[in-house]
Amino acid sequence: MDMETTCFQLITAAGSAKSDYLEAINTAKDGDFEGAQKLIESGDVSYREGHTVHSKLVQQEAAGSAVPVGLLLIHVEDQMMAAEIFRAMAVEMIGLYKKLADQDK
């Protein structure tokens, strides 16, 4: 697989994960915590798919086979990091929404 295709595969995985994480926040805001958890899990599946491909690139580089670095790969790195941050924030926000919902009971 060429580098450009690999990069777009990673961007797609990270984007899908971020979308699920954001949707999970909105779902929790509506009080559906089970649905929010399912969306987190769905986002995790997408993220892992991207992470698997990303890990292969890291292993390739570690084995001494240079990975060409261009703007597209830098964008990939940014998107992968953003997905990780979105997940952490989504989990925290869902916890807060749940805590608020529990206080209202």
Active-site annotation, residues: 75
CA-to-CA distance for 75 and 62, rounded, in angstroms? 21
Q: Is 33 exposed, middle or buried (0-12, 13-18, 19+ CB in 10 A)?
A: middle
Annotated ligand binding at 78? The verdict is yes
Q: Show binding-site residues for Mg(2+).
A: 78
